[in-house]
């Protein structure tokens, strides 16, 4: 029974980190592409766009870290 629980925990951890990182990864790509496009159209506001981009990327990265925390909890905080 312990082997099944360990296998399910490992599978769940893989799904958590996989799904937890695919969304923010796509979002970061779209965000960076739009920021480059905006900077190329209006170079005079590059500083404001870059600051907003970096703040937004930090929030998106936090979502991935939450997925990692859930995956680690599934792997190492298993009561069985």
pLDDT in tens, 13-71: 889 898 889 988 999 999 999 999 999 999 999 999 999 999 999 998 998 899 899 88
SS3 42: coil
Domain of 55, in residue numbers: 2-76
Write down the pLDDT at residue 38: 94
Q: Report d(CA 40, CA 69) in Å as an integer.
A: 37
Give the pLDDT band of residue 2 (cuts 50, 70, 90): confident
Distances (CA, A) of 11 to 5, 23, 43, 61, 64: 10, 19, 47, 23, 18
SS3 55: helix
Give the pLDDT band of residue 79 (cuts 50, 70, 90): low
Write down the pLDDT at residue 80: 60
Structural domain count of the chain: 1
CATH of the domain at 31: 1.20.20.10
- Residue located via tokens 């739009």: 34
């Amino acid at each position: 029974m312990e082997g099944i629980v360990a296998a399910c925990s490992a599978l769940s951890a893989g799904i958590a980190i996989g799904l937890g990182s695919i969304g923010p990864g796509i979002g970061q790509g779209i965000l960076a592409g739009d920021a480059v496009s905006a900077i190329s159209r209006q170079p005079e506001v590059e500083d404001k766009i870059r600051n907003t981009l970096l703040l937004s990327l930090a929030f998106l990265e936090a979502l991935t870290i939450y997925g990692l925390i859930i995956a680690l909890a599934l792997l190492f905080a298993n009561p069985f």
